Amino acid sequence: MTTEDNISKAHILTEALPYIQRFYGKTIVIKYGGHAMKDERLKAQFAQDVALMKYVGINPVIVHGGGPQISRTLERMGIQPTFIEGQRVTDDETMSVVEMVLVGTVNKEIVGLINSHGARAVGLSGRDGDLIQAERMKIYRYSGDDRPTEIIDIGRVGKVVRVNTDVLTALEKAGFVPVIAPVGVGPGGQAYNINADLVAGAIAAALKAEKLILLTDIMGVMKENPNGERELIPSMTVTDVKKALEDGTATGGMIPKLKSCLKTLEQGAKKAHIIDGRQEHAILLELFTDSGIGTEITGED
């Protein structure tokens, strides 16, 4: 290794220093999903990034998805997954599979991976300590001016009502990294399947997190330029996000992500980021470099 190589590494460390100082002792909520959960190299890098954050004094909180794993398990059982407006229709049998896969398999794999890279992770579902208190989500569909709005039953799909931050605060103080499966608990103790982006946003808001980071399989929020090409929107405000949701700029899976960011910022988090989890060490690039990656969303207009 040449002197120039060593100097280049030193520059990287000095660039990171002010960000390490800024985020020391702060909470950063990360929604872990997409390709970053499938590729073995990216999985290892994710765990390294989380361990490094913990070692430099940052408090990461991980919320993970697991939709593809749930669908594969259902298909092996002969159950065809059904989606309405992006939400998985979840009857009692499907809910049992959701909980088995998310809590019993995916969550424990992520915990083991982070632990193997030197941090101390603890796996949780929203039912542990009433962490994620939920109620049934209703989907309303407009049927026309002369007809009543249709209410669609999608089963045990929930929305977050309250986050019990005492559980997370206790784990953070003890030096653990919470790893949370997006399963909520209803008033009667029943489990609810909740979109992981929405859970991450609710937790970031409740903790007044410094940042919410959503890992995706695209560069960030995209728009069409005058040449008809898709290009990254590097920075957005809350007003920009509301406009994107209203005018159709946001489509598909980007809708719950932007709604999650919006709620988080409106309820007290500082910033939200939608970044490309396919990028090597995506979290470190966002946190510790001047340029960052993906789309940054702030509450400032």
- The Cα 266–Cα 113 span in angstroms is 33
The DSSP H or E segment spanning 2 is none
Burial label for 31, CB within 10 Å (0-12, 13-18, 19+), is: buried
For residue 282, the SS3 value is helix
Q: Does residue 275 surpass a pLDDT of 70?
A: yes
Confirm if 180 and 62 have CB atoms less than 8 A apart.
Answer: yes
What residues are paired with 223 via a beta bridge? Answer: 231
Q: For 156-183, what is each residue's pLDDT tens digit?
A: 999 999 999 999 999 999 999 999 999 9
Write down the pLDDT at residue 1: 64
DSSP 157: B
Q: For 97-146, what is each residue's pLDDT tens digit?
A: 999 999 999 999 999 999 999 999 999 999 999 999 999 988 776 655 66
Total H helices, total E strands in the chain: 10, 18
- The Cα 98–Cα 66 span in angstroms is 9
Write down the pLDDT at residue 192: 94
Write down the pLDDT at residue 284: 93
**Average pLDDT across the chain, whole number:** 88
Q: Give me 155's structure tokens.
A: 């089963």
Write down the pLDDT at residue 144: 59
Mean of the pLDDT values across residues 172-201? 93
Pick from 200, 198, 265, 208: which is nearest to 237 by CA?
Answer: 265
**Percent of the chain residues past pLDDT 90, beyond the cut:** 55
pLDDT band at 245 (very low <50, low <70, confident <90, very high): confident
User: Greater confidence, 49 or 260?
Assistant: 49
Q: Does residue 61 surpass a pLDDT of 90?
A: yes
Q: Which CATH architecture has domain 24-288?
A: 3-Layer(aba) Sandwich (3.40)
Write down the pLDDT at residue 129: 92
Angle among Cα 36, 23, 260 to the nearest 5 degrees reads 50
116 φ, ψ (degrees, to nearest 5): -70, -15
Q: Does residue 81 surpass a pLDDT of 90?
A: no
Pick from 208, 196, 117: which is nearest to 157 by CA?
Answer: 196
Instruction: Map out the domains of the chain as residue ranges.
Output: 24-288
Write down the pLDDT at residue 147: 61
Contacts of 199 (CB under 8 A, 6+ apart): 31, 63, 126, 132, 160, 180, 182, 184
* DSSP state string for 102-138: IIIIIHHHHHHHHHHTT--EEEEETTGGG-EEEEE--
Write down the pLDDT at residue 137: 86
Confirm if 208 and 265 have CB atoms less than 8 A apart.
Answer: no
Q: Does residue 213 surpass a pLDDT of 70?
A: yes
Contacts of 90 (CB under 8 A, 6+ apart): 98, 154, 155, 156, 157, 193
What residue type is assigned to position 125 of the chain?
S
Q: Report which listed range, 15-29, 129-143, 147-161, is most confident.
A: 15-29
Write down the pLDDT at residue 267: 83
**Percent of the chain residues past pLDDT 70, beyond the cut:** 93
Span of 9-13, 238-242, 257-261 with lowest mean pLDDT: 9-13
For residue 168, the SS3 value is helix
